Amino acid sequence: MNPSCATQPLHPRAGSAPRALGLLIAIALGLVTLTPHSEAEPMTGTRPSALAGSWYSADPRELARSIDEHLARARPLAEVAAGPPIAFVAPHAGHQWSGDAAAQLYRLLEGPAGHWVSRVILLGPSHYQGFRGVSLLPVAAYQTPLGDVPVDTAVVAALLEQPGFQTVRTAHAQEHCLEIHLPFLQRVLERPFQIVPILCSSLNYTEWARIAAALAAHVDEHTLIIASSDFTHYGDRFGYVPFRGDPDTNLRRLDLGAIETIVRLDPRGLEDYKQQTDISVCGYRAIGVLLEILRTEKLWSLWGHERPVARVLDYYRSADLVGEFNGSVSYAAIGFFHAGDLLAGPLYPPRLRAVVAESRLELNASEQSYLLELARQALREKLEHGRTPHVESFPPGVSAEKLRTICGVFVTLESHGQLRGCIGSIEGREPLCDGVIHNALNAALEDPRFPPVRREEVSDLHIEISVLTPLREVFGPQEIEVGRHGVVLQRGGHRAVFLPQVAPEQGWDRETMLTQLARKAGLPGDAWRAEAKLKVFEAQVFEEEHP
């Protein structure tokens, strides 16, 4: 038996994509209509539980016992942070499937740690009906076996006045992604709280920020924000098989790509990753809206005057529970904290750490020495014999897989302590080993700042290589860490780059570095303050030993 985030856990069946497509067609044909909220419509009544007896127990005592068992297996707040999370991404399958992952987040709100919460904004995907924008249900409360959870009707009414917000009642009738969290909230929060339940359907990337801005107006120091989403739905039954072979490692790699964009608060990166992979993360739009809220700088005063920081507290797949991958769903628990609260510890849980290490392309000492010698060999052969070396095999201790990985790389040449040439590619265009050869030659012969290196100079050259991580756009200059990040600045047709080691070598702080970078791009020194696009990367830097 395998779960689907859109089906009852005890009765699995096909996923909801065909149903959603059919509903979208029906909407287009006018067979299904949307029900906008009427200003005169009173917010009364209770939405009955759609999950009791299937996704979780209908018996209040049994449900409470089950929730408490999940919480007991989770880490306490004292092991994670000095303060509770202010927002999180939590899974929404039946409790028997994703309950342990969700509990890793909810336990951090137990007792006094959750006393600050009086409002919970719940964002999730509409699994059963498609529509344009987001939908709120104007009712007084949501029902669970543990009692009624009141809706913040004042906030709901205010949001329904905003563009993009509406009421599609039929979308809420059997939807599980919001209700599944309520019993956890009821068990951990000791003080009364209200919810703002929101379903996201058809929203393009540019609309995420508009929806987030409307929600941000209702975020205060007592507001917890939850994005409800499962991660990859893999297998023929979900219509998503993007790879063949080794689903264990490949699924973790696929999920990690999306998770990495989330932990760095990068909604654009999440959208790009979705477009590149078509990853079946059902709540990616809800997550995108959450990330836009967390990037709202005027809210940072609520969160220690700094951008929140993230940690992935748990990750597993339904396949890890049942032992086979035919129809697996992935679950991740991602918490966002005040920057000063998060305790030291690994960013990712054990099941992701090995994949993280693989993706970083860390080169060992033998691989670094090999690439440095390859660069020097390229200079000798070109300047002495007029030919360019070609790599066909690698010595023991040097990974062919790593050195044939396509990635950005720079080669820097110095002579007697002075720069003699530096050229590279920021974004990978060729295998690393080939990039080292070509950029060593370009640094020697094509850097317009210097005359070409002569054959007799080669023995006096000192070689440094910088292997780059992929570029990512940053929200603002405050995200740039001097010494860790290389920076690309672009405005119009002007562009310039500094490697991570440049600023520390020059003794520059962040503002000085950005001013110098703008001037290098042929722009005014303050161009980085407005209208310039900033991207960052990291680098593994290694060099020849000095004689």
Q: Distance of CA 103 to CAs 99, 110, 146, 184, 197, Å?
A: 6, 10, 17, 8, 20
Per residue, the 3-state secondary structure of 417-469, as one string, reads CEEEEEEEECCCCCEHHHHHHHHHHHHHHCCCCCCCCCHHHHHHEEEEEEEEC
For residue 390, the SS3 value is coil
pLDDT value of residue 354: 78
pLDDT value of residue 459: 93
pLDDT value of residue 406: 83
Instruction: Say whether pTM exceeds 0.85.
Output: no
Backbone angles phi, psi at 363, to 5 degrees: -95, 135
- Please list, in sequence order, all residues whose beta carbon lies within 8 angstroms of the beta carbon of residue 519, skipping any fewer than 6 positions away: 525
Structure tokens at 265: 């608060």
pLDDT value of residue 293: 97
Strand partners, 235: 240
Q: CA-to-CA distance for 163 and 210, rounded, in angstroms?
A: 9
Q: CA-to-CA distance for 247 and 229, rounded, in angstroms?
A: 21
* Amino acid letter, residue 121: I
Backbone angles phi, psi at 463, to 5 degrees: -110, 135
| Residue 426 and residue 537 in contact, taking contact as beta carbons nearer than 8 Å | yes
Structure tokens at 127: 């699994």
For residue 99, the SS3 value is helix
pLDDT value of residue 38: 41
- Listed in order, strand segments (DSSP E) in 96-193 are 119-125, 134-136, 141-144, 147-150, 165-166
pLDDT tens for the chain, residues 1 to 547:
445 555 433 222 223 333 333 333 333 333 333 444 444 456 789 999 999 999 999 999 999 999 999 999 999 999 999 999 999 999 999 999 999 999 999 999 999 999 999 999 999 999 999 999 999 999 999 999 999 999 999 999 999 999 999 999 999 999 999 999 999 999 999 999 999 999 999 999 999 999 999 999 999 999 999 999 999 999 998 999 998 778 998 999 899 999 999 998 999 989 999 998 999 999 999 999 999 999 998 999 998 888 899 999 999 999 999 998 989 999 999 999 998 899 988 889 998 987 876 666 789 999 999 999 999 999 999 999 999 988 888 999 998 888 988 889 999 999 999 999 999 998 877 889 999 999 999 999 999 999 999 999 999 999 999 999 888 777 678 778 899 899 999 998 999 999 999 999 999 999 999 999 999 999 999 999 888 889 889 899 999 986 5
Backbone angles phi, psi at 337, to 5 degrees: -130, 160
Structure tokens at 66: 């089950």
Run of H or E residues at 14: none
CA-nearest of 447, 459, 472 to 533 is: 472
Q: Distance of CA 373 to CAs 404, 420, 544, Å?
A: 16, 18, 9
- In tens, the pLDDT along 30-69 reads 333 344 444 445 678 999 999 999 999 999 999 999 999 9
- Please list, in sequence order, all residues whose beta carbon lies within 8 angstroms of the beta carbon of residue 301, skipping any fewer than 6 positions away: none
Structure tokens at 413: 């040449």
CA-nearest of 2, 175, 180, 16 to 91 is: 180
CA-nearest of 153, 144, 82 to 113 is: 82
Q: CA-to-CA distance for 203 and 295, rounded, in angstroms?
A: 18
Q: CA-to-CA distance for 472 and 248, rounded, in angstroms?
A: 27
For residue 411, the SS3 value is strand
- Listed in order, strand segments (DSSP E) in 52-193 are 87-90, 119-125, 134-136, 141-144, 147-150, 165-166
pLDDT value of residue 368: 96
| Residue 513 and residue 502 in contact, taking contact as beta carbons nearer than 8 Å | yes
CB burial of residue 385 (10 Å; 0-12, 13-18, 19+)? exposed
Q: For the chain, how many helices (H) and strands (E)? A: 17, 20
Give me the domains of the chain, ranges plus CATH numbers: 17-36+51-359 (3.40.830.10), 365-468 (3.30.700.20), 472-540 (3.30.1490.150)
Strand partners, 461: 415
State in Å, rounded, how far the first CA of the chain is from the last one: 65
- In tens, the pLDDT along 202-260 reads 999 999 999 999 999 999 999 999 999 999 999 998 999 998 778 998 999 899 999 99
Q: CA-to-CA distance for 538 and 547, rounded, in angstroms?
A: 28
Q: Distance of CA 6 to CAs 38, 65, 141, 167, 401, Å?
A: 30, 24, 23, 21, 39
| Other CB atoms within 10 Å distance of the CB of residue 472 | 18
Per residue, the 3-state secondary structure of 179-228, as one string, reads HHHHHHHHHHCCCCCEEEEEEECECCHHHHHHHHHHHHCCCCCCEEEEEE
Backbone angles phi, psi at 214, to 5 degrees: -65, -40
Q: Report the residue count for the chain.
A: 547
Percent helix, strand, coil in the chain, to 5, is: 40, 20, 40
pLDDT value of residue 3: 57
Q: Distance of CA 124 to CAs 33, 176, 224, Å?
A: 21, 9, 14
pLDDT value of residue 246: 85
